[in-house]
Amino acid sequence: MSPAFILKNGRIFDGRSFLSPGFSIVVRPPYILAITLHPPTHLPSIDLQERVVAPGFIDLQVNGGGGKYASLDPSEKSFNQILQAHLKEGTTSLLLTITSSASDTRQSALAAIRAIMSKEQSLLAGAHLEGPFLNPSKKGAHHEPWLQPPTPELLKQLANEGEDVVKIITVSPELFTSGNLDILLETGWILSAGHSTASYETAMTFFDHGGHMATHLYNTMAPVTGREPGMVTAIFEHQGARAGIIADGHHVHPAAIRLAQKVMGDRLFLVSDATFLGQKDGEVYFGPTTFRMKDGICYNQEGKLAGSSISIAQAVKYCITEAGISEVDALRMATYTPASILRTTDRIGRLGKGMLANMVILGDDWLPQKIYYQGEEVTENQP
């Protein structure tokens, strides 16, 4: 581990608000020792020249990056390549998303995630299962033959496979009975509604019954109408419902992002839904499907959006510079709120004494200029 050091003269965002000027961050890797007005004088210091320092970003929905795809190449080597691609963009904690897949692919992916988690403190926080219990009529880019109805037997099998690894599972509420939902609730996983035709009433029942989240707000959900308020309105209204949103300029209109943030406040958070971070334009072969990348946007053969090519850092920038979201709200949507969903605000998502020293130093363009993971500076040439 590197020796202790001090970050001074920065605009410190602690996860929920900006601190008043004058505070310094004292770091002894891998932890923050203190945030204080009176730092020790014997330690080396780094002058941030009034740049913003924030907790490392947290992404609860990552499908791939660096030319690797979690649901296509489920191996430790592949997953570490995805992790490094996002770490170099300022994401210091993430969930790898396993989309609807063949059972052996899912099992291999969960085994690889379990192996990596045994070595890491925070970079790989677990798995997000997106499927297979999704409504085929809202499948998006999911491969329909891999979608399955939720039977008690399959739910129990999945619960055993994902023990201690899965943190979130996306399901279509309209496919579930209360008894089948209870099987998933017993796992302690976060139940997220998505890829769904659920009515307002069905969605409210889902959230009342223990569902706590919604996957990529607005996308693969029925639109709001006067007579059919739908799942989006239920997400807005239910105070126990939180939702991720993809702020890449393609999935959701900036006005819709502003509306969601005004209505939901700190219940809204950012996800990248990144599959093709760093991918060049052209054809991408993804198992049985061929995707097409053009100008950073990916479509499947049906012309439907298929993941994104952004990082959380780019989503933060978009929210501030294009969607009219305040600096505080945009940064909180990438730090404290997702950490609170994972119930890990005692370790990540905040800057404070005893927290892991996962931090991003942001430039005037709101993109990371320097990244610290557990107090160690992340470099471009890291493997």
Q: Which residues are catalytic?
A: 273
Residue type, 13: F
What region, left, alpha or beta, does residue 88 occupy, with left being phi > 0 and alpha being psi -120 to 50 degrees? alpha
- Determine the Cα angle at 131 with ends 259 and 269, to 5°: 25
25 forms beta bridges with 7, 35
Residues in Cβ contact with 52 at an 8 Å cutoff, skipping those fewer than 6 apart: 10, 11, 13, 327, 331, 361, 362, 366
DSSP for 52-110, please give it.
EEEEPEEEEEE-EETTEETTTS-SHHHHHHHHHHHHTTTEEEEEEEEES--HHHHHHHH
Q: Which residue has the tokens 């061929």?
A: 290
Residue linked to tokens 């379990």: 114
CA angle 35/38/39 to nearest 5° reads 65
How far are the Cα atoms of 87, 90, 372 from residue 122, in angstroms, in the given order? Answer: 11, 13, 13
Which of 44, 104, 41 is CA-nearest to residue 71? 104
Q: Which of 146, 152, 69, 158 is nearest to 101 (CA)?
A: 146
